[in-house]
Structure 1
Amino acid sequence: MAAGGATPGEPRPGELRPDELRPGELRPGELRIVGTSVAREIDLLLDRVAQSIGKRTPRVLQVGSRTLVADRNVRNWRKLVAKRFGPKARFIGLDLIEGANVDCVADICSDPRTLKGKLGEEPFDLAICCHVLEHTRHPARAARNIEQALRPGGLAYVTAAWSQAFHAAPDDYWRFSVRGLMLLFGRLEVASSFYSGGDVGLDVAYRIERDGRPELDPRAGAVEQGLFQLVLDHEDNRAVLARQATERLPVSRTYLPSLFVNLVGRRVSR
Structure 2
Amino acid sequence: MYIYQIERTLIHAQVKRFAKHISGDVLDVGGGERNRYKDLFIYKTFTCLDISAGPEVDIVASADAIPLPDGSKDAVVSTQMLEHVKYPERCVQEMYRVLKKGGHALVTAPQWNELHSEPHDYWRYTKYGFIELFERNGFRVVEYEQRGGFFSNAAQMTLRYFLDRLHLHNRPVLGRVFSRIFQAMGAFAIFLDRHDTSEANRKHAIGWCFLFRKE
Tell me the secondary structure at the aligned position of residue 22 of structure 2.
Answer: helix
- In the other structure, the counterpart of 1:62 is 28
The change in CA–CA distance for 1:161 and 1:59 in structure 2 (over 3 A counts) is same
Shift of 1:40: 5.0
Shift of 1:80: 2.6
Aligned counterpart in structure 1 of residue 61 of structure 2, from 86, 100, 106: 106
- In the other structure, the counterpart of 1:55 is none
Shift of 1:46: 2.7
Aligned counterpart in structure 1 of residue 122 of structure 2, from 167, 173, 176: 173
C-alpha distance in 2, partners of 1:126/1:171? 26
The change in CA–CA distance for 1:165 and 1:156 in structure 2 (over 3 A counts) is same
Contact 1:59 1:90 in 2 (8 A): yes
Tell me the secondary structure at the aligned position of residue 145 of structure 1.
Answer: helix
**Structure 2 residue ranges without an equivalent (≥5):** 1-9, 157-181
Percent of pairs with identical residues? 24
**Structure 1 residue ranges without an equivalent (≥5):** 1-36, 51-57, 69-74, 208-221, 230-255
Higher helix share: 2
- Letter aligned with residue 227 of structure 1: N
Larger Rg: 1
Q: After TM superposition, where is structure 1 displaced by more than 4 Å over at least 4 residues in a row? A: 37-40, 198-207
C-alpha distance in 1, partners of 2:214/2:93? 11
C-alpha distance in 2, partners of 1:101/1:145? 21
Q: Which has the higher contact order (CA 8 A, sep 6+)?
A: 2
Give per-residue Cα distances to partners, 1:106-152, cap 9 Å, x unaligned.
00112xxxx3xx33455211111111111100011111111111111
Question: Normalized against structure 2, the TM-score is what?
Answer: 0.66
For the aligned residues, what is the CA RMSD?
2.9
Contact 1:104 1:119 in 2 (8 A): no
Total equivalences in the alignment: 165
Question: Normalized against structure 1, the TM-score is what?
Answer: 0.54
Contact 1:95 1:105 in 2 (8 A): yes
- Letter aligned with residue 79 of structure 1: D
